[in-house]
Amino acid sequence: MTMMKRKCIYCNQPGGVGKRELRPYGPGGSDVCAGCVFDGPPERKIEAEKQFAARLMCPDTMILDDREQAGPRPMTAREKNELYRDVDKLDEIRMDSDKGSN
């Protein structure tokens, strides 16, 4: 299986650091680099803000993932299972320590 190399839809360059960082804030959630958004025509920034806001309004649990150079995105089912498992574990620890203090 080959990985699709993500590219900015405006400059067609692959992601990188600083202004080359890709975010899924282009039209329809396409990848755009920071340089093209902030140094380009104002419509790009307006579109990026719209895309970002749309993600924040999502009722799903969101996750910030630096590794993917993506902004907030809904958690996958697997990530949710891991999170809820950890939360359950914390609840068990808390209940145990409550019993001990009385």
Q: Which residues bind Zn ion (CB under 5 A)?
A: 8, 10-11, 33, 36
C-beta closer to Zn ion: residue 68 or 86: 68
> Which lies closer to Zn ion via its Cβ, residue 11 or residue 83?
11
The whole-angstrom separation of Cα 87 and Cα 80 is: 10
Q: Scan for tokens 């067609």, then name that residue.
A: 12
Position of tokens 């999170």?
Answer: 83
Shortest distance, position 12 Cβ to Zn ion, whole Å = 8
The distance of closest approach from Cβ of residue 78 to Zn ion in the complex, given in angstroms and rounded to an integer, is 31
Q: Are 71 and 23 in contact (CB under 8 A)?
A: yes
